Structure 1
Amino acid sequence: MPDCDYCGESFGNETARDKHLKAEHADELGRIDRRRLGMEDEDGSTLGDAAGPIALGAIVLFAVAIIGYLVFFAGSGGATTPHNLGGVHGHGTINVTVVGESLDFSQGEYQVQDRYWHFEGGNGRFWHVHGEGVTLAYALDTIGIGVTDNSVTYQGTTYEDSDPQYDVEVTVGGEDVDPSSYVLRGNSRTPSGRQTAAGAHIRIIVTRTG
């Protein structure tokens, strides 16, 4: 099972690992890796050298779109809206178990459902956060799970802690949190580029008491 030399994650095959390298570590890759991935020619030139003007134009258009979104949508409500895509790059682990069913986030339906927070590369153990303002409620909503500080909604059923039939636990790093305001950042990389710890652990557990 190939591993990423930059953050230590494991992948089912080399193709998945190479996609991860291009998406997550493009700025960190050495010359050998860049050549192997087709990102640099023998003379040291890169795709960015030829596509510079196009890339610049794309960046400008993207920035305009983001500003427009923030002005017309994010500014009109009180909720925290994810922003500054790429400004944060952290990881953490997760366990969501609903009345005995532990969710497998390596399944395709859970992979890369959002740009700001997602699972990728067929790995359901580690989550990735790539923007600022990503709350726990926002993150779980991207994969179809509704969560408050005392309830979990999964597959159309809401389980409430106030219901004597259920016990609902919503924690991050072992601490009770308000999902609507708790912002996920995960664990960032070490100066060498490697990630040696898992970062914040999300734990969403619903158990039947009666």
Structure 2
Amino acid sequence: MHDCPHCTASFEDEVDFLAHLRDDHPAEFGAVDRRRLEQLSGGDDAGISGTALLLSGLALAVVAVVVFVTFGLGGSSGDDGVAAAQTPTNVGSAHHHGTMEMVVLGERVDFSQSQYQLQANAFHFEAGEGTVWHVHAQGVTLDWAMSSLGIEVTENSVTFDGTTYRDSSPEYAVSVTVNGEPVDPETYVLQGTSGTQNAASQGDNVRIVVETE
């Protein structure tokens, strides 16, 4: 039995399992593993040895995901912050959505840009969309989510693009709210809805603002 690490699906047949990964979860794999998955539809008869080789490669990819989430050893720019924050668990066991807006000194941060897309499996923006966030794990704190994007956020400070803005400074006002209420990013766990169409009305609406006094 092959259990999908990204959803609740299970398959007895290896080829069906690999086809499921290829068709339903292409974004979870790197370019090399996607090419391996695409070999399934190439029409050549690779036999058992080819399937075994493909499975071994995908197994390594799954192990890499587990290592990244558990120990913060992935290659994204926010890894150090992710490792320091409370680590999510059971990646693939959830799929929730909400919205996020971040404004720094009057400029809205565009999370649709490539450096903010699919930076972690537990939390990410995807498909070139920069408002609706996706959570795929249990216990994803706002602190961890922002760290995965390379942004550090506390109750009264924001570190963005190499600059730390503190609410205690006479120059800046910093607010971090969820659904209009101040939160502690280190302990606040993101809550969302299953459908992206209801993300704004039923999921957590995160708003992070840095402005001048």
TM-score, structure 2 normalization: 0.62
Structure-1 residue corresponding to 2:33: none
Q: Which has the higher helix share?
A: 2
Which one-letter code corresponds to 1:185 in the other structure? Q
Are the counterparts in 2 of residues 117 and 129 from structure 1 also a CA contact under 8 Å?
yes
Matched, 1:89 2:89: no
**Deviation for aligned residue 1:203:** 0.3
Q: Alignment partner of 1:120: what SS? A: coil
Flag structure 1 segments of 5+ consecutive residues without an equivalent.
1-20, 25-37, 42-50
Are the counterparts in 2 of residues 88 and 185 from structure 1 also a CA contact under 8 Å?
no
**Deviation for aligned residue 1:78:** 9.1
The separation in 2 between residues aligned to 1:65 and 1:197, in whole angstroms, is 26
Structure-2 residue corresponding to 1:114: 120
Moved more, 157-166 or 79-88: 79-88
RMSD: 3.4
Which one-letter code corresponds to 1:157 in the other structure? T
Q: Which digits, 9 at most, give the CA deviation of each residue in 1:95-136, with x for residues without a partner?
A: 101111111111111111111111110111111111112110
**Deviation for aligned residue 1:195:** 4.1
Matched, 1:181 2:191: no
Deviation beyond 6 Å, 4+ runs, structure 1: 51-54
The separation in 2 between residues aligned to 1:158 and 1:165, in whole angstroms, is 12
Structure-1 residue corresponding to 2:198: 196
**Deviation for aligned residue 1:196:** 3.0
Matched, 1:206 2:210: yes
Q: Alignment partner of 1:196: what SS? A: helix
Identity %: 46
The separation in 1 between residues aligned to 2:64 and 2:164, in whole angstroms, is 39
Q: Which digits, 9 at most, give the CA deviation of each residue in 1:150-206, with x for residues without a partner?
A: 0001111111111111111101111111101111132124xxxx7434211110001
TM-score, structure 1 normalization: 0.63
The higher-RCO structure (CA 8 Å, 6+ apart) is 1
